[in-house]
Chain A
Amino acid sequence: MFSAQVFVSMLVVTIALHVILGAVAYSVMLERKIASWVQNRIGPNRTGFDFGQPFLPKFHFWGLGQPLADGLKLFLKEDYTPPNVDKVLFIIAPMLAVVPALIAWAVIPWGGYWDFPGLTVFGTEIAQPGMAVVTVAPINIGILYFLAVGSLAVYGVVIGGYASNNKYSFLGGLRATAQMLSYEIPLGVSILIIILMFGTARTDLIVLNQAQGILGWNIVWMPLLAVIFFTSQLAEANRTPFDLAECEQELVGGFHTEYSSMKFALYFLAEYAHIVTGAAFFTLLFLGGWSIPFYVGQAAAGGLPLVLLNVGVFAFKMFLIVALVMVIRWTIPRFRFDQLMQLAWRCLIPVSLILLLAAAVLVALKVPAIHWWMLGVNVLTFIGLVVIGPKVPKGPPVNRKIPLEGSRFSPLTTS
């Protein structure tokens, strides 16, 4: 009845959605654990799966019940809607935050190609045999879809901030807007470079082109680009050091100050889902997706064992990236807003444009061994940054007090 690809897609949707939502819940726990290790504490280690019920076996399971208890707690909390909010938008906003983070998973090629044997239950053919990509949607535009969906991620934050009718929330939302608009440019440019180099936007082909042991991975040949992509991805996911939209010291909770219960939980979910999505895309763009390091003759297509192995490799790389993101959160302090803007407009965007120009020229000239050229360009650009960077004249002092009308520091001038 179903063709192989459609059946595999449905299978991947079902499994990926549940596994990743579970992983998102547990990444909250991972974050708390990493925070405690960085700060020389122990972290959550008491909550098992007994939830205080005397008839359940009492064992701590190293605190692994914590995410379940957290979820239960969020369900049971009062879902409070403050009286003066814009009710429609207040309810829509958390959905707008979650949906883009979840649907970006559609184009991630989890495990290469599956030589699907077909499925017949009680003599009825449910799925035909055939070759299928282990992904949800093997669409032509692949990685552009990621960009398109990524550009929607900011709406939840902005609209939530506006609908709350709270000036701190509103400031958080506006900050997020400026930040995401700025960091989308280096993100898009670095993806463009990858598309230029490989001549395809399809995610499975991008991974396939890298699947030659560790020497095929993009991070080896374009380390600077990987750093740019990673940084922009951190900013897009609103993670420290770029979490100005919700910095506690200035804006209470930022855009989610007024949210409680499951609405808050959706924001929380969206934040961690963004991290997982970002890690997945970093893996597929720079870490060779499902390719096993130091193993060259990896078959691209195969049966179920190979697919499972590929998915495992992909997930392990994602896990490492997520852990790195969390270590960064507890290591690097938050930027000031003007520093954030300067980093984007005076560093990341020019550098990524230089790399794009170089890649375009190299591709147009059809140079042999383009990888080595690209590595050279990356290294040269980095050296140039280190040498020229300190000598670039500083811009006007952007952190000065801009006399806003009616603010405390400059009273209204209307006479």
Chain B
Amino acid sequence: MLLLHVQTVGSSEGWVTLVLFYLFAALSGVSAWALVLSPNIIRMAVYLMLTLAGVAGIYFLLGAELLAAVQLIVYVGGVLILIIFGVMLTSRNPYLNVAPRGGEMALGLVLATVLAVLLAVAVLAAGLPEAAAAAPDDDRYAVRWIGALLLSRHLIAFEVAAVILLIVMIGAGYLVRRRIKANQAGATEGRS
């Protein structure tokens, strides 16, 4: 009944949305550039986090609040794990700089070009509706509807995601256990 975004979009407050959009877009774009150009793995993770947070801000502007919250929890929150892995993988020296080799650079360039072309084609072919028409209907995008859809029409995708997460968890546990055991074995050998 009292929704901010419904009143914000398409009314005289549109310029606020516009300014915020450019703000978030700049945040995403600039930190994405910084991410690609940075040689330090932790800095990359931080820039990635800023990029994803900017995208979450744009979701908020679009009125897709649940998507924005999920973006923040899953992606931006997940960068934390990335940082920890970055620290662990470069445990010899966490301040190490990584430089891509020529082959990696070429592969990355090819992949990025393909992705860019794909995205451009998809965006141009999508035929986006006008801004006013795109303002979401408050009831249809409510949390309860998304929940109901996830557990009815998209149940298989939902369950597959859950199973994949479970597999990842078991795998991580296995790796950690093996490492601790190896460490213990190494330590006793060293002592004897």
Binding site for B on A (CB under 8 A): 1-3, 5-6, 9, 86, 88-89, 92, 113, 131-133, 137-141, 144-145, 147-149, 151-152, 154-155, 158-159, 162, 165, 170, 174, 177, 181, 199, 201, 402-405, 410-413
Contacts and interface: CB of A to CB of B under 8 A. Distances in A.
Contact of B2 (A5, A402, A410): A5
Contacts of A132: 2
Interface in B1-32: 2-5, 7-8, 11-13
B3 A158 contact: no
Nearest to B138: A140
- The secondary structure that dominates the A interface is mixed
Q: Is chain B's interface secondary structure helix, strand, loop, or mixed overall?
A: helix
A138 B183 contact: no
Contacts of A137: 4
A5 B7 CA distance: 8
Contacts of B5: 139
A158 B83 contact: yes
A404 B88 CA distance: 13
B186 A413 contact: yes
A174 B184 CA distance: 22
A89 B83 CA distance: 13
A144 B80 contact: no
3 pairs of A and B residues whose beta carbons are closest in the complex: A403-B187, A148-B72, A413-B190
B177 interface: no
A165 B73 CA distance: 28
B2 A149 contact: no
Contacts of B173: none
Given A140-B66, A410-B187, A151 B43 contact: no
A132 B73 CA distance: 29
A151 B77 contact: yes
A281 to B, nearest CB: 15
19 contacts: A92-B46, A131-B2, A133-B2, A145-B65, A147-B69, A148-B69, A148-B72, A151-B72, A151-B73, A152-B53, A152-B77, A158-B80, A158-B83, A159-B42, A162-B42, A170-B94, A199-B144, A410-B191, A413-B190
B191 A141 contact: no
Interface in B30-86: 40, 42-43, 46, 49, 53, 56, 60, 65-66, 68-70, 72-73, 76-77, 79-80, 83-84
B4 A9 contact: yes
Contact of A138 (B3, B77, B184): B3
Nearest to B7: A3
Interface in B131-158: 138, 141-144
Contacts of B72: 148-149, 151-152
A138 B2 contact: yes
A212 B79 CA distance: 42
Given A3-B13, A158-B80, A402-B183, 4 more contacts: A132-B2, A159-B83, A410-B187, A413-B187
B77 A6 contact: no
Interface residues of B, number: 46
Given A6-B13, A403-B187, A177 B84 contact: yes
Contact of B4 (A138, A403, A405): A138
Nearest to A413: B190
A411 B190 contact: yes
Contacts, number: 111
Contacts of B8: 6
Contacts of A154: 80
A162 B53 CA distance: 21
Contacts of A113: 2
A147 B29 CA distance: 26
A172 B149 CA distance: 42
Contacts of B11: 3
Contact of A144 (B69, B76, B94, B141): B69
Contact of A165 (B77, B95, B184): B95
A147 B42 contact: no
Contacts of B76: 151-152
Contacts of A145: 65, 69
B126 to A, nearest CB: 25
A61 B184 CA distance: 62
Contacts of A410: 187, 190-191
B173 to A, nearest CB: 13
Contacts of A158: 80, 83
A138 B60 CA distance: 12
A144 B66 contact: yes
Contacts of B65: 139-141, 145
A413 B187 CA distance: 7
B69 A86 contact: no
A163 to B, nearest CB: 8
Nearest to B5: A139
B130 interface: no
Nearest to B180: A402
